């Protein structure tokens, strides 16, 4: 018996020896990932993998070869892209040049982290040619900043239009991303941001569902939309939402009666009173409640379990122990309780200046309750892992209809807020 195990062990060692043992090491795995990246044309990634591999084991030949080939190809590729961008001279081509030089700079920094590399057999030092592009990168950044600054100045001429002012402000932001405080970009950004802020009034939706027992759903949706949008800093850079309290105060002061759904005609007058550029409103057309429903299904489960062991004598006269199995079964009754609520409707954005529809979409908010549990009869050992888990679950009842509707309204408000945020950006 021992000789047979020894034979298999020797075979195992022989098979292992056929493979490069490095594949089982961290540096070997990193080298392999780098080779795959190189073959797919991802030279930058290949360089990074090779660097990580060589930091662990500087004399790993495969990664030594890889770093030389990948680094050369990376620099060559980036320089080619720079040449193409400079020749095309597209509007913002300096952005591309900055990006390419930045990636070369990052490659240089990564390679500079390497220890001294020597070929393990010859002992000859392996040197990688690192050419500093710091000056070229600085020049490219200044050129990119100037292009965006000039574009912002050009757009600023027409910044009476909030959308144009917004684009101008973004150009000054881009200029400062390349060169901090470039010229008077900060001052011009502040001016154009202020001119580019769009004021929107969110008017409570009209409930046309015919169901009013769940309270002021339309007001709740409007409030939740405002709260979610205002909590997103990226959305509020160029957006100001008038709160419902402000709307109520202004309308009361102006003795303006807001009755029914705001349409294109009333939006102009209402918007002028509120001092906003656009009005967002809508209607709830359906509130659907699916009552609590419980279903059940009974299944039989079987298994074999070890109950004891016994000693038996084999044909060679040797004694050994065998497991004694027993058939077991159980009947499991799985219950599933469900309930749901759904709110459907539509919203629209109206321009106060033109009285025209800018955007209109349908929406739906959902809330679902689903819970499963089980009881059983018979031997618990017959139950599968998932069945035992269900048996441990306690029975739960669905939330009341009002709670589900409230959850659906919040889901709806979240989706609508996401739309407003995308629109604002």
Is-above-0.95 flag for pTM? no
Name the residue ranges covered by the structural domains of the chain.
Answer: 18-132, 140-196
- Strands, E assignment, 260-378: 278-313, 319-351, 357-378
Q: Smallest Cα–Cα separation from 422: which of 234, 223, 172, 164?
A: 234
pLDDT digits (tens, 9 = 90+) for 27-66: 999 999 999 999 999 999 999 999 999 999 999 999 999 9
The 10 Å CB-count burial string (b at 16+, else e) for 279-303 is bbbbbbbebebeebeeeeeeeebee
Query: Are 80 and 103 contacting, i.e. CB atoms less than 8 angstroms apart?
Result: no
C-alpha separations of 392 from 305, 387, 397 in Å? 21, 9, 16
Summary mean pLDDT of the chain: 89
Helix (H, G, I), strand (E, B) or coil at 279: strand
- Collect the ranges in the chain with pLDDT lower than 70: 1-23, 255-263
pLDDT digits (tens, 9 = 90+) for 218-265: 888 888 988 898 888 888 899 998 877 888 787 777 766 655 556 677
How many CB atoms lie under 10 A from the CB of residue 367?
Answer: 20
């Amino acid at each position: 018996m021992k000789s047979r195990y020894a034979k298999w062990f020797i075979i195992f060692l022989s098979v292992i020896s056929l493979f490069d043992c490095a594949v089982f090491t961290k540096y070997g795995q990193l080298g392999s990932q780098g080779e795959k990246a190189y073959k797919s044309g991802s030279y930058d990634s290949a360089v990074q993998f090779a660097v990580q591999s060589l930091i662990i084991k500087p004399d790993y030949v495969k990664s030594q070869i890889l770093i030389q080939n990948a680094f050369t190809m990376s620099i060559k590729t980036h320089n080619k892209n720079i040449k193409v961008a400079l020749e095309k001279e597209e509007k913002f081509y300096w952005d591309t040049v900055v990006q390419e030089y930045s990636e070369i700079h990052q490659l240089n920094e990564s390679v500079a982290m390497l220890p001294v590399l020597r070929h393990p057999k010859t002992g000859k030092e392996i040197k990688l040619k690192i050419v500093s592009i710091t000056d070229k990168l600085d020049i490219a950044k200044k050129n990119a900043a100037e292009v965006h600054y000039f574009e912002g100045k050009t757009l600023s001429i027409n910044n009476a239009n909030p959308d144009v002012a917004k684009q101008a402000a973004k150009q000054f932001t881009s200029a400062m991303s390349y060169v901090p405080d470039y010229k008077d970009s900060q001052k011009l950004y502040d001016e154009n941001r202020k001119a580019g802020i769009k004021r929107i009034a969110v008017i409570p939706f009209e409930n046309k569902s015919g169901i009013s027992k769940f309270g002021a759903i339309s007001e709740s949706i409007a409030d939740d939309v405002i709260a979610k949008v205002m909590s997103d800093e990226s959305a509020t850079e160029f957006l100001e939402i008038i709160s419902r309290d402000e709307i109520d105060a202004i309308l009361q002061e102006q003795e303006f009666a807001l009755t029914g759904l705001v349409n294109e005609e009333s939006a102009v007058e209402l918007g002028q009173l509120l001092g906003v550029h656009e009005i967002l409103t809508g209607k709830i057309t359906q509130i659907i409640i699916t009552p609590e429903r419980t279903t059940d299904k009974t299944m039989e489960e079987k298994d074999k379990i070890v109950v004891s062991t016994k000693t038996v004598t084999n044909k060679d006269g040797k004694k050994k122990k065998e497991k004694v199995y027993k058939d077991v079964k159980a009947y499991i009754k799985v219950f599933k309780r469900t309930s749901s609520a759904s709110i459907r409707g539509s919203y629209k954005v109206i321009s106060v200046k033109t009285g025209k529809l800018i955007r209109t979409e349908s929406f739906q908010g959902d809330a679902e309750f689903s819970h499963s549990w089980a009881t059983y009869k018979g031997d618990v050992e017959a139950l599968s892992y998932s069945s035992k888990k269900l048996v441990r679950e306690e029975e739960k009842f669905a939330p009341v209809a009002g709670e589900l509707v409230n959850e659906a309204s919040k889901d709806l408000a979240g989706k609508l807020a996401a739309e407003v945020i995308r629109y604002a950006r």
